[in-house]
Amino acid sequence: MVSGNLFHCRRNSWPAEEYVGRTALQLLDFDGGSPPEQAWRRRLNSHANLLKEFSVTFMEAMRMMSLGLRLWSYVREEASHGRKAPIDPFTKEKCKPSASQGVPLGGMGSGSISRGFRGEFKNWHIIPGLCETSPVMENQFSIFVSRDGGNKKYSSVLSPGHHEGLKKCNDSGISSWDWNLSGQHSTYHALFPRAWTVYDGEPDPDLKISCRQISPFIPHDYKDSSLPTSVFVYTLVNTGKDRAKVSLLMTWANSIGGFSHHSGGHFNEPFITAKDNPPVTFAIAACETQNVNVTVLPVFGLSGEGHDSAKQMWDKMKQNGHFDRENFEAGTSMPSSSGETLCAAVSASTWVEPHGRCTVVFGLSWSSPKIKFQKGCTYNRRYTEFYGTSERSAVNLVHDALTKYRIWEEEIEKWQNPILKNEKLPEWYKFTLFNELYFLVAGGTVWTDGQPPVIDEKPSPGSNQQKSSKRGTRDTKQESVKDNHVKLTAEQVTNGGDLATGEVQSVSKYAAVHGPQMAKATNGIGSQEPIPYLLSKSGPENVGKFLYLEGVEYIMWCTYDVHFYASFALLDLFPKIELSIQRDFANAVLYEDRRRMKFLADGTSGIRKVKGAVPHDLGTHDPWHEMNAYNIHDTSKWKDLNPKFVYRDFAATGDMSFGRDVWPAVCAAMDYMNQFDRDGDGLIENDGFPDQTYDAWTVHGISAYCGGLWLAALQAAATMAHRLGDRPFAEKYKLKFIQAKAVYEAKLWNGSYFNYDSGTSSNSRSIQADQLAGQWYAASSGLPPIFDENKIRSALQKIFEFNVMKVKGGRLGAVNGMTPNGKVDETCMQSREIWTGVTYGVAANMLLHGMEHQGFTTAEGIFIAGWSEEGYGYWFQTPEGWTIDGHYRSLIYMRPLAIWAMQWARSPPKAILDAPKVNLMDRIHLSPQMIRAMNEINVRKIAPDNRCFPSSAFRCEC
């Protein structure tokens, strides 16, 4: 438990010398081989315990029985079409999740591969929405050391051999390899996007080894941060008296996880088109220098039929320390047969003199240039802008990675050092801040080049037409292979399975946007017309289109209620991506998709996307074209989505062009919400079902969460209107804010905090951790407080004392709901959970209001429970939340990126810091006519005004 001064962690709370001897650290301290002082650490022999998934109580199960039956039916229906339902609690992974994750490989949006802290390559997320969790154990780094004329020899895979099936007698597969590493003297150090594995005398007692893993995640670099590649830099120090010949070996299977390597038809070196999804090509390489000799074995297998077996490959390396140079002249391998696994190997050999040092560099890249979604649309990935769409681009990628990784590291250090060297920050916060960014690589991200898709259309049943494609993409580019001094073997793998594509359906009332005014809705788009695609902005600002999943278990792209928390990371580090996402949602607000969908919570049905409503998500199997994959509730009736859309990104960037572009959508989103103000007091009401991000937690009447967000949105909309010169809108929403604020405080403030809602249910007086989300929104946007400061601090202190400190002394984070008598609110599964991203958001709010001790203490609970050695083992897979006994729900989740809201609170963007300190709300003067008109508003609600003040003139503020 945190105690004493905020800066109790000024000392290095994770000293490296407790994991690696000081002498080893000093010896490796050249060429970046020594891990930094601020890093997350584990010993390789640490036990990777299985994680405990949440379960519902008997009463919760009974209440959700109807929903469960409808969800089960929906999951089966989607499976019959070859698709995975966006939410499927019934299908469990064969590989049970464990506490074994580490820093993932590659940049953003080009497919990802995670690497566990013990060295296993796992969590293959190459195909959008499909994550293969099982490790491919053939993918390994190994070492062979020979000393004293060959009288002393050491050989081992550089990963502890703790997995089922190893060491079988007479095995010709990888079980025949030497799995000699105990991991007792080997440690892993993580500081995303880099990681260090230090082998302190393993397997050779006189050899110190550091493997540094580097991926191109570089803030504000919209080219290299999209590249699917990583580099592994081995630093070798010989502390012995004898010269040592060291051979490092990288082996790689022709696989993208799961059982893909058993599907047959794979080649090493050339590639072959996959059955239905685009192919994937891998390239593994090592850098040959004056001191390092590189050789390859283009193909070996587990059985050895027609080529070397894994055992024969290993024996050659033990005997010679290298392969034959003639292997570079080998031609195309024979295609693999069904059930056969093809692998390749690259060896790098060097001599290390007594007390000498040497560096050996390996590279890995993969190329899957086209993204195919399951309902027919195919896009080019972002990196094809620079490398073309040929699968052979993996060769160019790995070459450039080996030549540019030092530049990447310089940029990474320039970005991270100001935070890492800040002695006022707790040590745990420094490395957790960076390590939570793993999600932007491993969270199923997709980054396209921004061009229109190819839409595959299947002919109707009974027709003789061939399947056709409608293209909007430009001609693809080809580049020559640049292999120069890089020796490599390239591999290709098919996806290993057929995935059905759906037919393009007709869409009704899909309107286009023209300037500040919405065009009239069409009566319908014929089934032969392509669904409108929203192009990315042309010119230098076009950074493509970006998607990231809500979580690997909740397969929906850019879930907006959660993105509200997570987007602080994107807005701080890749603001052009964040604005691109916001433009997608702005366009979506103005569209309507009248296709019917069934809502599973109550069995009713409604239209898929209502005009004026911010969509819950951008879809699953046809993103941008078929939004709202979420179908538990009708999200057009949710009360938190529209308010979250309005202002922050405009304030943070100061981008007036962006503001003018999205203003029509802001008008529509705000006017849409008027229908939920049923008594005309300016404040929206909830509707007695879970109509917000807490989608299992019912709300009655006015709620602290949604009502507070609405207050913030009213203030934000009025301020934005003032800055853009829309005086009528500014006056209208300033007056609404004044009215609504008084009602909110009168009905919810109880003297020390805001009640959960204004209803009469048993939990209406609960203390909600997220009750001040609206104030957080306002403060993060540089807006004045929506409540008096003493009320804000009183509520935050109440949350700290009850939701944080009364739950295991603050060692778990902030529980969502707490009763006034100090007991956890057991109303539903979500009220009794600790949500990691919400806890970070609450901590950020505390920092914004000068409560540094409370803020860091609150957030440290997430570190203790999720990342520390004494915690539950959720590192690099932070879940949506956990219960007080540590049972998780939804691993690898988007919302914990909200830790960057804490950094935002500490260091706001320049546009907010440089903004005029005058309260813009005070500069919005209400005319007597406006006041009279607003006082005469009838309580009868009308449809949203889709004109969005078309007569208003835009002008920049002075």
Residue pair 660/957 in contact by the 8 Å Cβ criterion: no
End-to-end C-alpha distance for the chain, whole angstroms: 50
Residue-level pLDDT at 338 = 58
Other beta carbons within 10 angstroms of residue 77's beta carbon come to 11
Most confident stretch, 1-10, 79-88, 700-709 = 700-709
Handedness of CA 803, 806, 808, 809 (dihedral sign): positive
Decide if pLDDT at 761 tops 90.
yes
pLDDT tens digits for 611-637?
999 999 999 999 999 999 999 999 999
Distance CA 394, CA 228 (A): 9
Most confident stretch, 325-339, 444-458, 460-474 = 444-458
Residue-level pLDDT at 603 = 93
Among 11-20, 225-234, 843-852, the range scoring the smallest mean pLDDT is 11-20
Say which residues have a Cβ less than 8 Å from residue 369's Cβ, sequence separation at least 6. Answer: 278, 380, 381, 383, 384, 387, 388, 389, 390, 391, 393
When pLDDT is averaged across residues 168-196 and rounded to a whole number, the result is: 87
Distance CA 96, CA 114 (A): 16
Other beta carbons within 10 angstroms of residue 482's beta carbon come to 11
Decide if pLDDT at 915 tops 60.
yes
pLDDT tens digits for 929-940?
666 655 554 333
pLDDT tens digits for 668-726?
999 999 999 999 999 999 999 999 999 999 999 999 999 999 999 999 999 999 999 99
Decide if pLDDT at 345 tops 60.
yes
pLDDT tens digits for 789-798?
999 999 999 9
Residue-level pLDDT at 328 = 82
Say which residues have a Cβ less than 8 Å from residue 370's Cβ, sequence separation at least 6. Answer: 278, 378, 379, 380, 381, 389
Distance CA 385, CA 939 (A): 54
pLDDT tens digits for 835-851?
999 999 999 999 999 99
Distance CA 123, CA 115 (A): 8
pTM score over 0.85: yes
- Please compute, for residue 554, the number of CA atoms within 13 A of its CA located in the half-sphere on the CB side: 22
> Facing residues of 885 across strands?
none
Distance CA 832, CA 819 (A): 11
**% of the chain beyond a pLDDT of 90:** 65
Residue-level pLDDT at 580 = 95
Q: What are phi and psi of 9, to 5 degrees?
A: -95, 20
Q: Does domain 546-933 have CATH number 1.10.760.10?
A: no
Distance CA 542, CA 563 (A): 21
Give the C-alpha distances (Å, rounded to integers) separating 128 from 210, 361, 375, 515.
33, 30, 12, 33
Helix (H, G, I), strand (E, B) or coil at 84: coil
Residue-level pLDDT at 244 = 95
Distance CA 684, CA 669 (A): 13
Other beta carbons within 10 angstroms of residue 863's beta carbon come to 23
pLDDT tens digits for 107-123?
999 999 999 999 999 98
When pLDDT is averaged across residues 71-90 and rounded to a whole number, the result is: 90
Q: What are phi and psi of 426, to 5 degrees?
A: -60, 145
When pLDDT is averaged across residues 452-459 and rounded to a whole number, the result is: 63
**If DSSP states are collapsed to H, E and C, what string results for 321-350?**
CCCCHHHHHCCCCCCCCCCCCEEEEEEEEE
For the chain, the helix, strand and coil percentages under 3-state DSSP, each to the nearest 5: 30, 20, 50
The structure tokens listed for 106 are 């590659």
Say which residues have a Cβ less than 8 Å from residue 851's Cβ, sequence separation at least 6. Answer: 793, 796, 797, 800
Say which residues have a Cβ less than 8 Å from residue 839's Cβ, sequence separation at least 6. Answer: 769, 813, 814, 858, 859, 861, 862
Residue-level pLDDT at 202 = 93
pLDDT tens digits for 481-490?
333 333 333 4
The structure tokens listed for 633 are 């509730």
Distance CA 125, CA 111 (A): 5
When pLDDT is averaged across residues 44-58 and rounded to a whole number, the result is: 87
Place 3 in a pLDDT band, splitting at 50, 70 and 90.
Answer: very low
pLDDT tens digits for 381-426?
999 999 999 878 999 999 999 999 999 999 999 999 999 999 999 9
Mean pLDDT of the chain: 83
pLDDT tens digits for 507-524?
222 222 222 232 333 333
When pLDDT is averaged across residues 246-256 and rounded to a whole number, the result is: 91
> Facing residues of 125 across strands?
112
Domain ranges of the chain: 22-51+96-447, 546-933
Place 291 in a pLDDT band, splitting at 50, 70 and 90.
Answer: very high
